[in-house]
Amino acid sequence: MRTLQLHGARRFELITQAAFWWMSGKRLLHSSVGVTRNISNSRVLIGASECSPVGAAIQVAVLLPQNEGSGYGIKL
């Protein structure tokens, strides 16, 4: 795993699946999925085809792979 230094935070290159949710101005729940690019103790960079509006509060689930075998080991 490669370590990056961006925006004053130590970031780790981590490529795995992530899902995220946000509420629209009309109080409708929206969701999308994507792939993480890197992660720190307070931020996650996710590439996705559908994104939340700028400034929207989001909830994120990052699915960490198991060391061996298939499936997921930990959900953050």
Over the chain (76 residues), the average pLDDT of each successive run of 10 is 61 91 93 94 92 93 76 63
Token couple for 63 = 């699915």
If one counts the domains in the chain, the total is 1
Q: Supply the pLDDT for residue 71.
A: 63
Q: Cα-atom radius of gyration of the chain, to the nearest Å?
A: 14
Q: Supply the pLDDT for residue 9.
A: 73
Q: How far apart are CA 64 and CA 18, in angstroms?
A: 9
Supply the range of the domain harboring residue 45.
3-75
- Tokens 């700028």 map to which residue? 54
Q: Supply the pLDDT for residue 37.
A: 93
